[in-house]
Amino acid sequence: MSEASKKSTPQADSIESSLARLETIVNEIEQTPPPLETLIERYEEGMELLKTCREKLNEAEKRIQIITRTGRGEITLEPFPEA
């Protein structure tokens, strides 16, 4: 990956910023297809952003708890079932 694309990749800031950068990459490619080398760099950057998003979503999923009521009306917390 080139230095230019490394600098433009959010350093795991947030899912929102990663998704915004992905959207920018897609729009850039769709509007004016860049030269092949730039296209490859954008693809690599996009794959890294997707990896970051997946990792963050997996971390969030592990923290989610489902609130349920017992037969007696008490609220209990249960871990989120893994898919």
Per-residue pLDDT at 12 exceeds 60: no
Give residue limits of the domains in the chain: 3-79
Tell how strand 65-69 and strand 75-79 pair up.
antiparallel
For 51-61, write each residue's pLDDT tens digit: 999 999 988 87
Contact status, residue 34 vs residue 68, Cβ threshold 8 Å: no
Q: Residue 68's pLDDT is what? A: 67
Class of domain 3-79: mainly alpha
For 21-78, write each residue's pLDDT tens digit: 999 999 999 998 899 999 999 999 999 999 999 999 988 877 776 666 667 777 777 7
